[in-house]
């Protein structure tokens, strides 16, 4: 009754903003643990869970004869602080086992109150002991905005994923201490993220990525959409490229890869080994042909498929290896080419992220090289791909199949061009900040909006979308981008990337720092706390992504779990893409590095 009546008042006065409700277990008991700023934090944390009730520990001094019944009705039970109250722990364990939510503040008291504190606010092991003893999830949470209720500040509440306890044996002190360490690390990260969201921000936000295309290119593309179709535009594109007529122009790199597999006509159940970090659609396309995608773990230093991992992945049914050149770098193909020759499978290089100009036909060691000009790629044409096929017979078969595919509609391409006119205009600090604020006001997810805006083939039906020929205006823009390729921009990007990589704090690991030919299409780092790093960058006015829909870890088939790519999973679990591009001047790059160091100090 109290909760029902108070909810409209709380909503009006404190405007709670809640994140992470999807992380809470839908059924069964669990332990909820948070930082504590005020006496009403328990109520503020229970508010988003309503109608589910939360039982909270409260200091035993409150349970006098007058208040005892009221406090029990409010789902509070007593604990004697500083005495290792076994009865309170047993009560909490029984409640959690019985399917209830039990709330415990690990610090045991508010961080600041009155003139004198009798208990120091520091994390204790009670919450972890209850979760371990009851065998229930331990869920971290954080709250800010409740420390001065009379100021009527907005409440910000965040819930995290349950803390991993599976590897902790028993409920003894060592296990409880380790669980508490993990719990407090998550709570601190959630709190830092909330503070970043709530802090006043500069009215400038540098985008996470600036499309490599000018408004003049987009206006040219719109004009091409209404001009009469020019014949043999694909030949004109190929005449500029170093691979020449041993190549093929496709709608996308994924279109070219799908076409390649169709031309190879492999038997169902045969296997394609693939770099364990790649575009998720690459594995989906393999499986759509009735084949098995076999991940090959990568070396974090070079991003090359590890030879040992490849040797484990190879079987008598292996027919191809797809090597992804990631983040603007290249992989040394010599050792991989030797294995391909020994075992008789094709070597395919995916150069979608590492185009270096029209003089770049790919490695002569590869049987097929794929280059992409998608929305966020170097020299983008908002689509299109070049495929270098070194076998004339295979190339002839691919051309025959490609000719039978429908052509992308001009209207479809024109709509994409118009969308990117807006994105290019927005990709400046003030408009981008305004977009961020507007989406926050509307309750929209900013990351989902940005990722969706640049996605090449959104929605279901992947094969139907990629099995098309590029339209005439797309080919016209691709020909223009190749003919006018901006080598100066690429060189500046390389210099900025090397400067930032060389000045990163020691606690950050630059993924691919020993890779070849680094052009720094993006600059990925592994951070001790990705949330703290992105929060620090946000405060300084830089938008950074902790993940991307265009890259994922390839999972092994169920019958080959030993091929699980541990390095790839570790990289993708801690990765942050720093917002670095040639449009930033030197002072902005230095501020970016200062913000990275600020994130490092919060991690410490």
DSSP string, 217-261: HHHHHHHHHHSPPPTTHHHHHHHHSTTGGGEEEES-HHHHHHHHH
Q: What is d(CA 555, CA 441) in angstroms, rounded to the nearest whole number? A: 37
Check whether the bond before 208 is cis (ω within 30° of 0): no
Residue extents of the structural domains in the chain: 2-198, 216-409
Torsion region of 12: left, alpha or beta (phi above 0 gives left; psi -120 to 50 gives alpha) = alpha
pLDDT of residue 444: 85
Question: Which tens digits make up the pLDDT trace of 548-585?
Answer: 768 999 999 999 999 999 999 999 999 999 999 999 99
Paired residues of 371 in beta bridges: 386
Question: Which tens digits make up the pLDDT trace of 200-219?
Answer: 666 899 999 899 999 999 99
Torsion region of 372: left, alpha or beta (phi above 0 gives left; psi -120 to 50 gives alpha) = beta
pLDDT of 197 higher than 50: yes
Same fold, 2-198 and 216-409: no
Closest by CA position to 208, among listed 474, 450, 495: 450
Question: Which tens digits make up the pLDDT trace of 428-482?
Answer: 999 999 999 898 888 888 888 887 777 767 667 889 999 999 999 999 999 999 9
User: Residue 214's CB: how many other CB atoms inside 10 A?
Assistant: 12
Range scoring the smallest mean pLDDT among 120-129, 144-153, 476-485, 496-505: 144-153
Instruction: List, in order, residues 6 or more apart from 289 with CB less than 8 Å away.
Output: 258, 261, 262, 266
* Global confidence as pTM: 0.70
* Lookup: tokens for 342: 């020994």
pLDDT of residue 116: 44
Quote the CATH superfamily of domain 2-198: Glycerol-3-phosphate (1)-acyltransferase (3.40.1130.10)
Paired residues of 296 in beta bridges: 275
Question: Which tens digits make up the pLDDT trace of 59-93?
Answer: 777 787 777 777 777 788 887 766 667 888 889 99
Please report, for residues 183, 252, 412, 458, the alpha-carbon distance to residue 226 in angstroms, rounded to integers and kept in the order given.
59, 22, 13, 25
Closest by CA position to 324, among listed 375, 290, 366, 381: 366
Question: Which tens digits make up the pLDDT trace of 412-432?
Answer: 999 999 999 999 999 999 999
- Give, for 293, the enclosing helix (H) or strand (E): strand 292-296
Percent of the chain, pLDDT > 90? 67
pLDDT of residue 145: 86
CB 303 within 8 A of CB 336: no
Closest by CA position to 456, among listed 515, 384, 400, 507: 384
Helix (H, G, I), strand (E, B) or coil at 578: strand
Residue for token digits 């406090």?
Answer: 71
Asked if CATH classification 3.40.640.10 holds for the domain at 216-409, the reply, yes or no, is yes
């Amino acid at each position: 009754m109290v909760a029902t009546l108070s909810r409209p008042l709380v909503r009006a006065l404190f405007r709670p903003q809640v994140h992470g409700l999807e992380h809470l277990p839908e059924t069964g008991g669990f332990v909820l643990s948070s930082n504590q700023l005020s006496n009403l934090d328990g109520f503020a944390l229970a508010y988003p869970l309503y109608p589910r009730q939360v039982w909270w520990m409260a200091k035993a001094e409150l349970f006098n004869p007058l208040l005892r019944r009221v406090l029990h009705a409010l789902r509070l039970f007593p604990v004697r602080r500083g005495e290792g109250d076994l009865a309170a722990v047993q009560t909490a364990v029984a409640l959690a086992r019985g399917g209830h939510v039990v709330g415990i503040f690990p610090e045991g008291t508010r961080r600041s109150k009155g003139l004198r504190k009798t208990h120091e606010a520091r994390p204790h092991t009670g919450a972890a002991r209850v979760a371990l003893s009851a065998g229930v999830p331990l869920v971290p949470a954080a709250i800010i905005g409740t420390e001065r209720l009379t100021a009527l500040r907005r409440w910000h509440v965040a819930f995290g994923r349950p803390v991993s306890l599976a590897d902790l044996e028993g409920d003894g002190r060592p296990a409880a201490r380790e669980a508490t360490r993990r719990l407090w690390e998550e709570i601190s990260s959630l709190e830092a993220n909330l503070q970043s969201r709530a802090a006043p921000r500069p009215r400038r936000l540098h985008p996470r990525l600036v499309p490599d295309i000018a408004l003049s290119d987009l206006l040219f593309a719109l004009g091409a959409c209404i001009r009469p179709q020019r014949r043999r535009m694909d030949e004109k594109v190929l005449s500029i490229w170093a691979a020449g007529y041993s190549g093929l122009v496709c709608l996308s790199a994924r279109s070219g890869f799908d076409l390649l597999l169709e031309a190879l006509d492999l038997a169902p159940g045969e296997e394609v080994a693939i770099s364990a970090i790649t575009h998720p659609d690459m594995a989906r396309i393999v499986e759509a042909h009735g084949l098995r995608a076999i991940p090959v773990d990568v070396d974090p230093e070079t991003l090359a498929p590890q030879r040992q991992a490849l040797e484990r992945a190879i079987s008598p049914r292996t027919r191809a290896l797809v090597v992804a050149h990631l983040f603007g770098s290249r992989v040394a193909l010599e050792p991989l080419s030797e294995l391909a020759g020994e075992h008789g499978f094709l070597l395919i290089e995916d150069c979608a992220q590492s185009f270096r100009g029209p003089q770049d036909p790919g490695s002569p060691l590869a049987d097929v090289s794929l280059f992409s000009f998608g929305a966020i790629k170097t020299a983008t044409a908002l689509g299109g791909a070049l495929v270098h096929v070194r076998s004339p017979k295979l190339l002839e078969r691919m051309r025959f199949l490609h000719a039978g595919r429908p052509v992308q509609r001009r209207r479809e391409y024109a709509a994409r061009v118009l969308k990117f006119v807006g994105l290019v205009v927005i990709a400046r600090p003030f408009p981008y900040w305004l977009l961020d604020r507007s989406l926050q006001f509307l309750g929209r997810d900013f990351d989902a909006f940005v990722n969706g805006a640049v996605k090449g083939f959104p929605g279901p039906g992947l094969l139907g979308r990629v099995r098309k020929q590029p339209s005439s205006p797309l080919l016209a823009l691709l020909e223009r981008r190749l003919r006018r390729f901006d080598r100066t921009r690429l060189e500046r990007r390389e210099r900025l990337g090397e400067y930032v990589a060389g000045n990163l704090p020691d606690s950050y690991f630059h993924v691919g720092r020993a890779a070849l030919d680094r052009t720094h299409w993006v600059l990925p780092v592994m951070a001790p706390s990705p949330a703290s790093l992105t929060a620090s960058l946000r405060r300084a006015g830089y938008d950074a992504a902790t993940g991307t829909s265009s890259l994922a870890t390839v999972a092994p088939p169920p019958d080959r779990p030993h091929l699980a790519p541990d390095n790839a999973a570790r990289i993708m679990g801690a990765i942050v893409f720093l917002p670095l591009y040639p449009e930033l001047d030197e002072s902005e790059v230095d501020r970016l590095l200062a913000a990275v160091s600020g994130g490092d100090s919060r991690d410490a």
